[in-house]
Amino acid sequence: MSGFEEVNYYFRKAARIMDLTAHVERMLVTPYREVKVDVSVTLDDGQLGTFIGYRVQHDNSRGPMKGGLRYHPTVDLDEALGLASLMTWKTAVANLPFGGAKGGITVDPATLSPHELERLTRKFVERIHDIIGPQTDIPAPDVNTNAQVMAWIMDEYSKYHGFSPAVVTGKPVDLFGSKGREEATGRGVVLALEEYLKDAGGGEIRGKTFAVQGFGNVGSWTCRFIDERGGRVVAVGDAKGAIKSPEGLDVSRLVAHAAKTGSVVGFAGADAISNDQLLAEAVDVLVPAALGGVITEANAKDVRAGIVLEAANAPTTPRADEVLTARGVTILPDIWVNAGGVTVSYFEWVQNVQRFSWEVDRVNAELARHVREAYATLARVVRERKVSFRTAAFIVAIGRVGRATVLRGV
């Protein structure tokens, strides 16, 4: 299945339970707009670098479309389609007044200098500035993009449309970014787990063991919040490899090591393992926090964790989802678990639109409230309909997006 088909598989599973008509179903899965642009730029050595950029806008029935920009060699139209649709369902689960979008550039940014990266980003904005905007489509960081990239986007967009901080979120705090946005996704991931554990009688994070794949923004902040609550992070991986320490890794030292060397690999006192071994670690909670499609039909049988906490987008394929569910593994799904990022992005947008700034305590308190309220709704649907958390999340999201679509008139 392609990424888009995978999301639509989950969508249809929920839609069947909801008795949606075929017409409404088709309308809800069909993207609003797909854009593919040439973003060729001159490289530092004078050569021409040719790159392709994408922006898929999936649905805007509940508000401006919202979703990240990814710079990675795997970026293509299908990946953007799948992730854009996932954003529609995610913003609806979190009950934010946004729709869904996603995009990016097919590039390995590690091969570019900072100046090349800036030129590439500005060229991309030149190509898409007329279809994004504070009331239409608001990009944000994703894999290999960060606050600096968002600052360039804001600056370039403002050249065409006047000063527009609300066109993009995840900006540096000095440039009207929100306090608390940097760590928001990881914070939301850990708050989501806490809500579930409280409700399911699963105790607390303290004393539980974790394996985390990905040590970028989401993975590293997730590890820090687990550590803060007394959880034991025993294995961590990134694109270069993985490491393990049964007594628990010293997370703050690991953060410093990764910042210095660019990877978790080589961390003193830890054993090297493969990313495949990481997924099969005997831990309480497995946290995929890197790319999508990593838990597959082939390796799902090896997963020994009792809970899969989906910090990454679409980390579990539909077949793997079935295998894990049949084995009694609880999957806490991406469209709820990692919504902390887009939730604080929403707060950032609100602050920008109001030309106002919130203190970090207010950001964190509002985030916690959103996570709690979303969980209460999901848990009720899980109990009433006797479905998985993922199907419940899709049921809630489809209901909200479907009602908005119908009320606005087709």
Spell out where 30-64 has E strands: 33-38, 41-42, 48-49, 52-59
What letter represents residue 59's amino acid?
D
Catalytic one of 66, 90, 102, 179? 102
Identify whether the C-beta of residue 63 lies closer than 8 Å to the C-beta of residue 32.
Answer: no
| Nearer Cβ to ligand NAD (88/185) | 185
Answer whether 317's CB lies under 8 Å from 1's CB: yes
C-alpha distances out from residue 51 to 37, 67, 354, Å: 9, 21, 36
Please say whether the beta carbons of 308 and 316 come within 8 A.
yes
Q: Which is nearer to ligand NAD, 3 or 402 (CB)?
A: 3
- Type of residue found at 338: N
Q: Which residue is nearest to ligand NAD (CB)?
A: 216
Main-chain phi, psi angles of 148, to 5 degrees: -65, -45
Q: What is the dihedral of CA 111, 154, 367, 8, to 10 degrees?
A: -60
Nearer to ligand NAD, 292 or 402 (CB): 292
Q: Quick check: helix, strand or coil at residue 103? A: strand
Q: Minimum Å distance from CB 32 to ligand NAD?
A: 20
Min dist CB 94 to ligand NAD, Å, is 11
SS3 26: helix
Q: How far is the CB of 408 from ligand NAD (least distance, A)?
A: 27
Closer of 69 and 205 to ligand NAD (Cβ): 69
Positions that interact with ligand NAD (CB under 6 A): 141-144, 185, 213-219, 237-239, 275, 289-292, 311-313, 338, 341
With a CB cutoff of 8 Å and minimum separation 6, the contacts of 291 are 72, 74, 143, 214, 312, 315
Using the minimum distance from each CB to ligand NAD, give the nearer residue, 158 or 275.
275
Shortest Å, Cβ 139 to ligand NAD? 12
Among residues 27 and 255, whose Cβ is nearest to ligand NAD? 255
CB of 74 to ligand NAD, least distance (A): 9
Q: Shortest distance, CB of residue 330 to ligand NAD, whole angstroms? A: 20
Say how far apart CA 304 and CA 333 lie, in whole Å: 18
C-alpha 127/C-alpha 204 separation (Å) is: 48
Shortest Å, Cβ 180 to ligand NAD: 12
Q: Which residue, 216 or 402, is less far from ligand NAD as judged by CB?
A: 216
Annotation marks residue 66 as catalytic: no
Number of neighbours of residue 304 by Cβ within 10 angstroms:
15
Q: Which of 208, 202, 214, 215 is nearest to 233 (CA)?
A: 208
Count CB atoms within 10 A of the CB of residue 177: 25
Q: Which of 126, 309, 120 is nearest to 214 (CA)?
A: 309
65 closest CA partner among 35, 20, 110, 106: 35
- CB of 288: closest distance to ligand NAD in angstroms? 8
Which one, 15 or 294, has the nearer CB to ligand NAD?
294
**Residue 305 Cα distances to 31, 309, 324, angstroms:** 36, 10, 10
Name the residues annotated as catalytic.
102
